[in-house]
């Protein structure tokens, strides 16, 4: 599989297409980690909190539940629509949501106390631009938080998925390891730390977190992985229906092996959490 840098229009269209599945299968898996993340930067009542590349709101709504004044942004209108629906269903009136390009935010300098992103900015083709924008809109002495998936071999949902695809279709294109695909561009904690420092942050730390994902079946696993980002969808789209069915059988066997014979299983992925202060 070869990878090329997508245009902004392609990025928007890809995430718009994924939004229904992302909201149904991915955001619920992100909520527990999102709540942990906002706790790491002491989000509280009155905190001005910006979520960049918010998806349908796992991080933004976690901040809102702690009383923050939240603005959630995403390049995909379909994601923002679903985020608004989630906020409304939860009775959270302290959340605003706007369609916005995270690499060029239409926001004033120094507007937020805390700016965060959970598996969002870390997927940007223009990562440095996204980080610079997060820093720009955060007040001096504020905090920037970026959560990114860690090493691929420690992301069980990814190793299960690629393993199943290779078993079902040995010639199918899969993501290269060098350079790493966008979801793993901050997998190396030291690279991650340097990118945050280069963006202008001080007192930078990169610490691990564990993302726990509960799958009730192979079909649920497949739906989540192929809805989580355009890469998974692209890999799945290259399979024939017969290859997809075989991959699902392989995943079912993997989950049952993990859970002692049951179709449901708990998988884990390492996440790097980068936090720094603005000057």
Q: Could you give phi then psi for residue 126, rounded to 5 degrees?
A: -100, 65
Burial label for 175, CB within 10 Å (0-12, 13-18, 19+), is buried
The answer as to whether 32 is a domain residue is: yes
* pLDDT in the model for residue 74: 99
Q: Quick: pLDDT tens for 53-65.
A: 999 999 999 999 9
As a whole number of angstroms, the distance between CA 112 and CA 98 comes to 15
Task: Give the range of the structural domain holding residue 171, as residue numbers without chain letter.
Answer: 8-277
List the structure tokens of 157: 């949902």
- pLDDT of residue 49 exceeding 80, the answer is yes
What's the CA gap between 192 and 160, in Å, rounded? 25
Confidence of residue 3 (pLDDT cuts 50, 70, 90): low
Which band of pLDDT confidence, cut at 50, 70 and 90, is reported for residue 279?
very high
Residue 2 falls inside a structural domain? no
Work out the angle at residue 11's Cα, subtended by the Cα atoms of residues 243 and 24, and round it to the nearest 5 degrees: 60
Token pair 């989950």 is found at 255
Whether 178 has a pLDDT exceeding 90, the answer reads: no
As given in the structure block, the two tokens for residue 29 are 């898996």
Average pLDDT, the chain: 97
Q: What is the pLDDT of residue 254?
A: 99
pLDDT of residue 2: 59
Q: Quick check: is 98 in a domain? A: yes
pTM: 0.96
- Residue 1 falls within a domain, yes or no? no
Question: How far is the first Cα of the chain from the last one, in angstroms, to the nearest whole number?
Answer: 41
Q: For strands 69-74 and 112-118, give the pairing.
A: unpaired
Angle value at C-alpha 149, between 26 and 225, nearest 5 degrees: 35
CATH number at residue 144: 3.40.50.150
Report whether pLDDT(4) > 80. Answer: no
| pLDDT score recorded for residue 107 | 99
Per-residue pLDDT averaged across 168-175, rounded?
94
Answer yes or no: is 79 within a domain. Answer: yes
Cα–Cα distances (Å) from 183 to 91, 242, 271, in that order, read: 32, 28, 11
Mean of pLDDT values over 251-275: 99
> Is 223's pLDDT higher than 90?
yes
The residue assigned the tokens 């561009």 is: 185
Q: Indicate the number of domains in the chain.
A: 1
């Amino acid at each position: 599989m070869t990878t090329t840098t997508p245009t902004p229009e392609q990025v928007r269209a890809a995430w718009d297409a994924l939004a229904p599945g992302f909201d149904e299968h991915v955001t619920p898996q992100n909520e527990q980690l999102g709540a942990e993340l906002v706790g790491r930067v002491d989000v509280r009542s009155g905190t001005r909190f910006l979520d960049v590349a918010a998806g349908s709101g796992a991080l933004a709504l976690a901040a809102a539940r702690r009383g923050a004044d939240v603005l959630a942004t995403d390049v995909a209108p379909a994601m923002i629509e679903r985020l608004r629906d989630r906020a409304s269903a939860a009775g959270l009136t302290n959340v605003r949501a706007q369609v916005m390009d995270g690499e060029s935010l239409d926001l004033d300098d120094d507007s937020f106390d805390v700016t965060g992103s959970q598996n969002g900015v870390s997927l940007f083709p223009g990562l440095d631009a996204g980080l610079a924008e997060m820093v720009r809109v955060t007040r001096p002495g504020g905090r920037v938080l970026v959560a990114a998936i860690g090493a691929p071999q420690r992301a069980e949902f990814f190793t299960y998925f690629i393993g199943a695809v290779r078993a079902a279709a040995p010639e199918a294109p899969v993501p290269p390891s060098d350079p790493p695909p966008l979801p793993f561009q901050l997998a190396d904690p030291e690279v991650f730390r340097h990118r945050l420092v280069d963006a202008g942050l001080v007192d930078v730390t990169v610490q691990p977190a564990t993302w726990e994902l509960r799958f009730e079946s192979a079909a649920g696993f497949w739906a989540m992985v192929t809805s989580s980002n355009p890469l998974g969808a692209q890999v799945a789209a290259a399979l024939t229906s017969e290859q997809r069915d075989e991959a699902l059988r392989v995943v079912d066997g993997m989950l049952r092996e993990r859970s002692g014979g049951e179709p449901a299983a708990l998988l884990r992925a390492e996440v790097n959490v980068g936090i720094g202060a603005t000057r």
